[in-house]
Amino acid sequence: MPNPIQSVQYAHFTAGEFQSAEAEVIVETPVSLTVNGSPWLTFMCTPVNLEAMAVGFLYNEGVIESIEDVVDVRLCEHGDNLDVWLKFEVERPDFSRRTSGCTGGVTSITTGQNETEPATSLPPVDDLHVSPELIGQLIDLLFESQQLYRESGGVHTSALSDGEQILVSAEDIGRHNTFDKLTGLCLQGNIWPERRILLTTGRISSEMLQKAARLGVRILVSRTSPSSLSIEMAKKRGLTLIGYARRNRFNVYTHPERLFEKQPQGIENK
Provide the annotated active-site residues. Answer: 102
Let me know: does 36 contact 89? Beta carbons within 8 Å: yes
Q: CB under 8 Å to 236, separation ≥6 — which residues?
A: none
C-alpha dihedral (223, 233, 177, 127), degrees to nearest 10: 70
What is the H or E stretch that residue 253 is in?
strand 251-254
Cα distance from N-terminal residue to C-terminal residue, the chain: 47
Q: Write the DSSP string, 57-104.
A: HHHHTTS-SSGGGEEEEEE-TTSSEEEEEESS--PPP---EEPSSTT-
Let me know: does 45 contact 173? Beta carbons within 8 Å: yes
Three-state DSSP class for residue 18: strand
Long-range Cβ pairs for the range 220-223 (8 Å, 24+): 221/135, 221/138, 221/139, 221/197, 221/245, 221/250, 223/139, 223/142
| 268 vs 270: CA distance, rounded Å | 6
Three-state DSSP class for residue 51: helix
H helices of the chain, in order, are: 50-60, 132-144, 147-152, 175-189, 206-214, 228-237
